[in-house]
């Protein structure tokens, strides 16, 4: 294989995943000796076959030939099976480990990573790129072991039989290095770009199927069809260039090896005529050389496959080398069950260069309901994200019961938090499993009790299979209000002391909102709650309302106090009141 230093590092890193399966690989290597040795034996037997059987007419040998052919074929076939099965299963097991590690690592990365990378691109790396790498750890290892062993055995026999003619043929091999390397670089380049294009195709698919309702509603099927065809055509162009360079490698090697064969024939026939060697010697050496060139051509194709795998490997290892911004400290402690006292101390935060929160400070008491209101972009959802530790603030700190959340384990932190988001995400699973998603040990009775408190039990029991009903991708079989009540039941069952409601009723009709508000009342009882809402009517009864603008608290107080102040809250309330009128 013709690799530079960086490529060698990537390939060695890839091969390390196969080390746990070294027993299978060793057995495969042993079997490959049988495959290579069989071809060397065939080349060796050409001499007595020509001299003794064809020229001298040895009848005894003629009777042995059929048994010899069958015996060699059986031995070679058994060796090839043992070799190929073991190396491929070892390669596939290593690829499974890579895919498992890639998935495990990806979901532990911080939210900033997922904001910067589309889900379709990540899906493509976990599925398509890893599949391309599979060839390097299964088919490539099979071919390298088999063809390299065969080539060494045949080369050894050719030099043993006549070193001069073998040397003439062997000169061709170094001559093939440069074109093979040049072709390999082109293949790697276009393979990597092709995998990137496949990531865009996967993203387009994921986006289409996730937003199919919007596409149908606006009648934009043809528009999406044209966009998908354009992305697919881009992938096709790159993959065709890969095919072009892959296809040219065999003819180039074929042409170069023809010079070696021609030289051997010219020199060998001259020596036969001079009676320095027999016809059997010539045909035996020629057979060894021709058989030797076959693995050479296959090894050249292996280089092409490796280059494609390296292009995919770079993209996979880019994700594996990503370090999460949010990690537990070495001496992180377990956060005990919280009393619900939350404190933001002079917190500043920016997603990039633009500040979102400035000197934000607030302290809550146990069981207090704090509402966050203000114009879009004021920083309301950012406060929820920081409390969940999706991000860390640039300055300041966030405390729960006096514990800095940066100094506690993320697992213990999230045990004390429950989030009901405006995006009601449900899994394509049963209602039972969706409700107990945050508490896997909950029994069916606990799930049903949570559903009753969320006013979801009644509609669940009307479904064909009740709590065992599959609700489809993202809960597509349920209405918006039903989905939201399932999410509330999930939060009730989790029984976390700190609750966050981010626009939990913003997308509901009046009837559904009334039902959900009752469910939220049950959920908020005896919990410290942060409520984000654009509809000010939903936060009127909060213990305290924080009015944010440009990342700062402009006003705070009860609903009545803020109305009497006549400031920003009063203006927002009057605008909504006029819109409702």
Over its length of 581 residues, how does the chain's per-residue pLDDT go in tens digits? 455 666 677 777 887 888 888 888 888 878 877 776 776 676 666 666 666 555 555 556 556 666 777 777 788 788 878 877 887 788 778 888 888 888 888 888 888 888 777 777 788 788 778 877 776 666 666 677 677 777 777 777 777 777 777 776 666 555 555 666 676 667 667 766 776 776 677 777 666 766 665 566 556 777 777 877 887 788 778 777 777 776 676 677 667 666 766 776 677 677 777 777 777 676 777 777 777 667 776 776 676 777 777 777 888 888 888 888 888 888 889 999 999 899 999 999 988 778 889 899 999 988 888 989 888 888 888 898 899 898 899 999 999 999 999 999 988 998 898 888 777 678 878 889 888 887 888 888 998 888 888 888 888 888 888 889 888 776 667 877 788 888 888 888 888 899 888 876 655 555 556 666 777 777 778 889 898 877 776 777 888 989 888 888 888 888 888 888 888 888 887 877 655 54
DSSP E strands in 135-251: the ranges are none
DSSP for 484-498, written as a single string: HHHHHHHHHHHT-SE
Instruction: Write the DSSP symbol of residue 553.
Output: E
Range(s) of the domain holding residue 551: 330-416+542-581
Would you list the DSSP string of 410-469?
HHHHHHTEEEE-SS----SSBHHHHHGGG-TT--HHHHHHHHHHTT-HHHHHHSTTGGG-
- What does 142-158 look like in DSSP terms, one character per residue? HHHHHHHHHHHHHHHHH
Asked if 270 and 345 sit in the same domain, the reply is no
Q: Return d(Cα 141, Cα 515) in angstroms, integer.
A: 62
Tell me, yes or no, whether 120 lies in a domain: yes
Claim to verify: residue 346 and residue 282 sit in the same structural domain: no
Three-state secondary structure call for residue 575? helix
For residue 118, give the CATH number of its domain: 1.20.1560.10
> 404 and 297, same structural domain?
no
Give the pLDDT confidence score for residue 343 in this predicted structure: 93
Rounded to whole angstroms, what are the CA distances from 330 to 369, 400, 409, 415, 535? 34, 19, 10, 20, 43
Which of 527, 522, 523 lies closest to 366, judged by CA?
527
pLDDT value, residue 401: 92
Q: What is the CATH number of the domain that holds 558?
A: 3.40.50.300
Asked whether residue 229 falls in the same domain as residue 345, the answer is: no
Who contacts 205 (Cβ-Cβ below 8 Å, separation ≥6)? 120, 228
Task: Quote the CA–CA distance of 385 and 541 in Å, as a whole number.
Answer: 24
Question: What pTM was estimated for this model as a whole?
Answer: 0.70
CA distance linking residue 489 with residue 475, whole number of Å? 14
Structural domain ending residue among the three candidates 274, 300, 320: 320
- Number of structural domains in the chain: 2
The reply to whether 281 and 185 lie within a common domain is yes
CA angle 497, 488, 106 (to 5 degrees): 80
Residue 458 pLDDT: 85
Question: Of 320, 338, 369, which one is at a domain's C-terminal end?
Answer: 320
Q: State whether 399 and 350 are in the same domain.
A: yes
- Do residue 242 and residue 287 come from a single domain? yes
Rounded to an integer, what distance in angstroms lies between the CA atom of residue 390 and that of residue 332? 17
Q: At what angle do helices 59-108 and 139-161 cross, to 10 degrees?
A: 150
> 484 in a domain, yes or no?
no
Q: Do 239 and 388 fall within a single domain?
A: no
In a domain? residue 443: no
C-alpha 108: how far from chain center: 13
Name the strand (E) or helix (H) holding 370.
Answer: strand 369-373
Residue 81 lies in a domain: yes
Instruction: Find all residues with CB under 8 Å of 285, minimum gap 6, and list them.
Output: 158, 161, 162, 165, 166, 264, 268
Beta bridge partners of 552: 549
The length of the chain is 581
Please, are residues 545 and 377 in contact by the beta-carbon 8 Å criterion?
A: no
> 219 and 354: one domain?
no
Q: Within this chain, do residues 245 and 336 fall inside the same structural domain, yes or no?
A: no
Helix (H, G, I), strand (E, B) or coil at 21: helix
Alpha-carbon dihedral angle through residues 565, 569, 574, 577, given to the nearest 10 degrees: -130
Residue 378, SS3 per DSSP: coil
Tell me, yes or no, whether 433 lies in a domain. Answer: no
Please check whether residues 200 and 156 belong to one and the same domain: yes
| Model pLDDT, residue 581 | 44
- Per-residue pLDDT, 386: 92
272 and 388 co-located in one domain: no
């Amino acid at each position: 294989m013709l690799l530079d230093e960086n490529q060698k590092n990537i390939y060695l890193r890839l091969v390390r995943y196969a080390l746990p399966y070294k027993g299978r690989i060793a057995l495969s290597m042993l079997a490959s000796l049988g495959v290579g040795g069989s071809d060397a034996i065939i080349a060796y037997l050409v001499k007595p076959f020509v001299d003794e059987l064809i020229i001298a007419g040895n009848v005894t040998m003629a009777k042995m030939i059929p048994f010899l052919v069958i015996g060699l074929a059986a031995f070679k076939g058994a060796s090839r099976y043992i070799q190929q099965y073991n190396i491929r299963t070892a390669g596939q097991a290593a690829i499974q480990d890579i895919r498992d590690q890639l998935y495990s690592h990806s979901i532990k990365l911080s939210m900033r990573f997922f904001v910067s990378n589309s889900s379709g691109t990540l899906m493509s790396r976990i599925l398509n790129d890893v599949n391309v790498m599979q060839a390097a750890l299964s088919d490539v290892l099979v071919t390298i072991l088999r063809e390299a062993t065969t080539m060494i055995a045949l080369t050894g026999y050719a030099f043993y039989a006549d070193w001069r003619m073998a040397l003439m043929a062997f000169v061709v091999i170094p001559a093939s290095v440069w074109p093979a390397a040049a072709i390999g670089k082109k293949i790697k380049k276009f393979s990597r770009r092709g995998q990137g294009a496949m990531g865009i195709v996967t993203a387009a698919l994921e986006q289409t199927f996730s937003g199919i309702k919007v596409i149908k509603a606006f009648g934009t099927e043809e528009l999406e069809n044209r966009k998908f065809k354009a992305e697919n055509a881009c992938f096709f162009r790159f993959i065709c260039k890969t095919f072009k360079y892959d296809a040219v490698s065999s003819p180039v090697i074929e042409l170069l090896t023809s010079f070696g064969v021609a030289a051997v024939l010219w020199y060998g026939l001259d020596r036969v005529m001079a009676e320095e060697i027999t016809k059997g010697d010539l045909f035996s050496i020629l057979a060894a050389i021709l058989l030797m060139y076959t693995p050479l051509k296959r090894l050249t194709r292996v280089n092409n496959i490796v280059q494609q795998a390296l292009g995919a490997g770079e993209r996979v290892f880019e994700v594996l080398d990503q370090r999460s911004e949010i990690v537990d400290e070495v001496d992180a402690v377990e956060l005990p069950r919280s009393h619900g006292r939350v404190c933001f101390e002079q917190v500043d935060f920016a997603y990039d260069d633009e500040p979102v929160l400035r000197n934000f400070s607030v302290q809550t008491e146990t069981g207090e309901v704090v509402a966050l209101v203000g114009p879009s972009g004021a920083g309301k959802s950012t406060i929820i994200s920081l409390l969940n530790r999706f991000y860390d603030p640039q300055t300041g700190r966030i405390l729960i019961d006096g514990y800095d959340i940066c100094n506690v384990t993320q697992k213990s932190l999230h045990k004390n938090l429950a989030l009901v988001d405006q995006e009601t995400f449900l899994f394509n699973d049963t209602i039972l499993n969706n409700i107990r998603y945050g508490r896997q040990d909950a029994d069916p009775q606990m799930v049903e009790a949570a559903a009753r408190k969320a006013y979801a039990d009644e509609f669940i029991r009307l479904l064909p299979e009740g709590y065992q009903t599959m609700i489809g991708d993202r809960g597509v079989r349920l209405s918006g209000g039903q989905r939201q009540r399932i999410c509330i039941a999930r939060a009730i069952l989790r029984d976390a002391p700190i609750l966050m409601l981010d626009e939990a009723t913003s997308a509901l009709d009046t009837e559904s909102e009334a039902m959900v508000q009752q469910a939220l009342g049950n959920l908020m009882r005896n919990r410290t709650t942060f409520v984000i809402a654009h509809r000010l009517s939903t936060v009127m009864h909060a213990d305290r309302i924080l009015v944010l603008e440009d990342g700062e608290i402009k006003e705070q107080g009860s609903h009545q106090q803020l109305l009497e102040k006549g400031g920003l809250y009063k203006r927002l309330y009057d605008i909504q009141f006029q819109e409702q009128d």
